[in-house]
Amino acid sequence: MNKKGFALIVAMTFLTVFFVGGSSYLYMTTNELKHTERQLDRQKAFFLAEAGIERGIWRVKNSNIVNAETFQLKGDQDPVNYLEDENINVTITDLGGGSYQVISTSQVGTGTKTLNVIVQKGAPSRVFDYGYFINNWGWFYGSGITAKGDVRSNGRFDFRSRPRVDGEICAGYEIYDGGQGIRGKGGNPENQHPFSEKLDMPNLYDLSYYEDKARTRGGSIVVDGTTLIEGIFGDDEDETGNIVLVGTSSKPIEINGTVVVRGDVVIKGVIKGQGVIYAGRNIYVADDIRYKNAPSSPRPSGNNPSAADNWVNAHKDNDLVGFGAAENIIMGDYTGRTGGSWYSNYWLFGMGDEDVGQDGIPDTNDLYEDDGVFQSQYEDLDGDGVKDGNYNWSDIRTQVPISEFTNCPKDVRDFRDVADNALNRMDGIFYTNHAFAGRAGYGMQINGSIISKDEAIVYRNTITVNYDERIHSRYTSGEERFIDVDLPISKSVDIIRWW
Ligand SMILES: [Ca+2]
Ligand SMILES: [Ca+2]
Ligand SMILES: [Ca+2]
């Protein structure tokens, strides 16, 4: 909603109130009339104060903050009614940590109304409240799948062969279990929420916001005493922009803060610290990724909020790493040479086309979907200005041979030399607004979250997602924000509290 749109709604709402009220004046005594007038004044003042709050939020969102201002609703047009001449007083106070208090006061006749809100800017997107979040099609096909924590999709969410969900299930469209049921809490219809509101995914097409963070907060990656990345990798002429990061228990990858790699990142092994690695193209999870200092258990021991609070408090300083790819996250050996075939491409190559219609979701048969025309306003989901087709091998492969990557181990000549299809463990928060694709080993455990537009994960035997409660918005935003890793932010301004 933009500012102009809101002012118009206020004016129209008032007109309705005014005329409805006006028609009943004829039948009232003077006392009743005064009473009604006072009520109307209060209502008018409320609408105006609300308009002031909207203006304050608009200012916070657009980094156009004025500490105190007085304005009227009247725009360029001729006034529609006298309300447009009433003053609205707005103050904005910076509370630190990206939160602001907006106070708006308006007086109409004898009625005065003051509204207060506390808003948060630059908070991680709400998509991080889920262990598994897919913008398009959420699908749990197989009894070996277990999700501990809430799961969500903006499109439909399909379940087959009785997977297990210990949490709530939300979807923007239908939730369907194939008539076979879902084990765990998610199997109870009370915990299924089809046709939920759409949650917007952060867009990583333009990484400049994260590059600023990397620069100003001095993010780094160190392995065995050598600093491999300082802030941004790929902005100097002598840097390739593509890097291989391998950690071991004695020589882990040490991350501190936010770093941006402009090209591809190939990563595996042991990692420690807190931070986020952003890649301008793909992130390759070549093999297991394990925290050096992981939380003592991947999940809180109970299901109540205080168990989560205690668990988060106890582990707030343990390792916590995010991976944000502007293009794709590729798991395993896509060449299919080490650890068996990759298979993910069979699913993936039927996904990704942006001719998805007005709702931004494929296979919903809405306006403009599959019409062969690119309505960029709705359909340019990744914001790159061109219509993306389905994924293909050029999306999957590294952009240059791995031997040309910085820090490529000497014995690695081909991608298959660094990767395999037997992953059993991924610790971390994995985010992409394109595809998460890959092949897992026989008993895969993901401790963190998988958030992507499209997902094509092929697993064997079992796969378990343990949502890392530390990234829930309860702990990463608002007045009590105490987990502060720079996960992809929501463009919106969240209202934390209002009264
Ligand atoms: Ca659609
Ligand atoms: Ca279209
Ligand atoms: Ca596009």
User: What spacing in Å lies between the alpha carbon of 147 and ligand 1's midpoint?
Assistant: 27
**From the CA of 375, which ligand is nearest?**
2
User: What spacing in Å lies between the alpha carbon of 390 and ligand 1's midpoint?
Assistant: 15
**From the CA of 389, which ligand is nearest?**
3
User: What spacing in Å lies between the alpha carbon of 378 and ligand 2's midpoint?
Assistant: 8
Residue 25 burial (CB count, 10 A): 11
Helix (H, G, I), strand (E, B) or coil at 28: coil
Q: What is the DSSP string of 335-386?
A: TS-SSS---HHHHHTT---S-BTTTT-TTS--TTBTSS---HHHH-TT-SSS
User: What spacing in Å lies between the alpha carbon of 265 and ligand 3's midpoint?
Assistant: 22
Q: Which residues surround ligand 3, an ion (CB under 5 A)?
A: 380, 382, 384, 388
- What was the pLDDT predicted at 285? 98
User: What spacing in Å lies between the alpha carbon of 405 and ligand 3's midpoint?
Assistant: 27
User: What spacing in Å lies between the alpha carbon of 367 and ligand 1's midpoint?
Assistant: 7
Residue 437: beta bridge partners?
330, 456
User: What spacing in Å lies between the alpha carbon of 135 and ligand 3's midpoint?
Assistant: 15
User: What spacing in Å lies between the alpha carbon of 362 and ligand 1's midpoint?
Assistant: 4
User: What spacing in Å lies between the alpha carbon of 326 and ligand 3's midpoint?
Assistant: 12
User: What spacing in Å lies between the alpha carbon of 195 and ligand 1's midpoint?
Assistant: 14
**From the CA of 374, which ligand is nearest?**
2
Cβ distance 353 to 391 under 8 Å? no
- What was the pLDDT predicted at 486? 82
User: What spacing in Å lies between the alpha carbon of 363 and ligand 1's midpoint?
Assistant: 6
CA proximity to 293, closest of 265, 259, 316 = 316
Per-residue pLDDT of the chain (499 residues), as tens digits, is 233 333 334 444 444 444 444 444 445 566 777 788 888 888 889 999 999 999 999 999 888 899 999 988 876 555 556 677 888 999 999 988 788 999 999 988 888 899 999 988 877 789 999 999 999 999 999 999 999 999 999 999 999 999 999 999 999 999 999 999 999 999 999 999 999 999 989 999 999 989 999 999 889 999 999 999 999 999 888 788 999 999 999 999 999 999 999 999 999 999 999 999 999 999 999 999 999 999 999 999 987 889 999 999 999 999 999 999 999 999 999 999 999 999 999 999 999 999 999 999 999 999 999 999 999 999 999 999 999 999 999 999 999 999 999 999 999 999 999 999 999 999 999 999 999 999 999 999 999 999 999 999 999 999 999 999 999 988 887 666 667 778 888 777 878 888 8
Cβ distance 250 to 224 under 8 Å? no
Token output for 64: 């156009």
User: What spacing in Å lies between the alpha carbon of 348 and ligand 1's midpoint?
Assistant: 18
- What was the pLDDT predicted at 24? 45
Helix (H, G, I), strand (E, B) or coil at 155: coil
User: What spacing in Å lies between the alpha carbon of 349 and ligand 2's midpoint?
Assistant: 19
User: What spacing in Å lies between the alpha carbon of 330 and ligand 3's midpoint?
Assistant: 19
User: What spacing in Å lies between the alpha carbon of 377 and ligand 2's midpoint?
Assistant: 10
β-strands 138-141, 192-193: how paired? unpaired
User: What spacing in Å lies between the alpha carbon of 201 and ligand 1's midpoint?
Assistant: 16
User: What spacing in Å lies between the alpha carbon of 189 and ligand 1's midpoint?
Assistant: 26
**From the CA of 364, which ligand is nearest?**
1
- What was the pLDDT predicted at 97? 75
Q: What are phi and psi of 475, to 5 degrees?
A: -110, -10
- What was the pLDDT predicted at 76? 53
pTM: 0.83
User: What spacing in Å lies between the alpha carbon of 127 and ligand 2's midpoint?
Assistant: 26
**Rounded Cα–Cα distance for residues 113 and 111 (Å):** 7
User: What spacing in Å lies between the alpha carbon of 469 and ligand 2's midpoint?
Assistant: 38
User: What spacing in Å lies between the alpha carbon of 372 and ligand 3's midpoint?
Assistant: 14
User: What spacing in Å lies between the alpha carbon of 438 and ligand 2's midpoint?
Assistant: 29
**From the CA of 137, which ligand is nearest?**
1
User: What spacing in Å lies between the alpha carbon of 172 and ligand 1's midpoint?
Assistant: 11
User: What spacing in Å lies between the alpha carbon of 388 and ligand 3's midpoint?
Assistant: 5
**From the CA of 433, which ligand is nearest?**
3
CA proximity to 291, closest of 323, 265, 327 = 323
Residue type, 388: D
